[in-house]
Chains A and B, each alone.
Chain A
């Protein structure tokens, strides 16, 4: 695997993370399902996944960049696993609407495991680390991937502030947007 192919795969990974986070927004705004604190933490872990690929796009592939992604994916898988265990009892309908039979946190767990497996697979190819002499050439496709994930992360920051207000989110998740409720009350 050449550094060029590694950069392409990392770019595709960034687009995939953006799509997952935008899909979470779709469920929140179209289906009116506000995310719970553990759901927000899984979104945080998805944004953490993006730091490694951005470093790879900027400086070329390094094993440490994949290490960051694996750490973020392990944290995300742990948080998703915790939420799966919360709803695993028979008779528990779970949190939110299922997508193709699985809830968002179950899909999140699968995505984090896939991210770990993908990093392990890419790390098998040493040529990407030995061939590079200078930072990779970056085009519009790669730049768009970076700015898209940064924009989606900032949107999540604004969304979390609107949803939880200036305090911790309530344990079961807020029933409505805290900040909008506050402005309506004034």
Chain B
């Protein structure tokens, strides 16, 4: 559901970029990127067996 919501949010952002105001598209893009980061942090939990 969360991935579906994220894809839908980006689709809405594209529609706003095409039909609406660019400023609103920028805000929606920022929101979607923050949610992408949150979903990444939820899923990227495996500790990498690597040292740098």
Bound: A148/B5 CA distance, A? 19
| Residue A164 is within 8 A (CB to CB) of chain B in the complex | yes
Interface range on chain A: under 10, 10 to 19, 20 to 34, or 35 or more? Answer: 35 or more
| Beta-carbon contact of A71 and B33 below 8 Å | yes
| Beta-carbon contact of A68 and B29 below 8 Å | yes
| Beta-carbon contact of A153 and B1 below 8 Å | no
Bound: A86/B46 CA distance, A? 8
| Beta-carbon contact of B39 and A48 below 8 Å | no
Whole-angstrom distance from the CB of B12 to the nearest CB of chain A? 10
Main secondary structure of the interface of A (DSSP, over half): helix
Q: Could you pull out 29 A-B pairs where Cβ atoms are within 8 angstroms?
A: A38-B43, A41-B3, A41-B36, A41-B40, A44-B6, A44-B7, A44-B10, A44-B36, A48-B10, A48-B33, A54-B17, A57-B18, A64-B26, A71-B33, A82-B44, A85-B50, A86-B46, A150-B14, A150-B18, A154-B8, A160-B4, A161-B3, A163-B3, A164-B1, A164-B2, A166-B1, A167-B1, A169-B3, A171-B46
Chain B residues engaging chain A, CB cutoff 8 angstroms: 1-8, 10-11, 13-15, 17-18, 22, 25-26, 29, 32-33, 36-37, 39-40, 42-46, 48-50
Please list the 6 inter-chain residue pairs (A to B) with the smallest Cβ-Cβ separation, ordered nearest first.
A157-B7, A160-B3, A161-B4, A37-B43, A153-B11, A160-B4
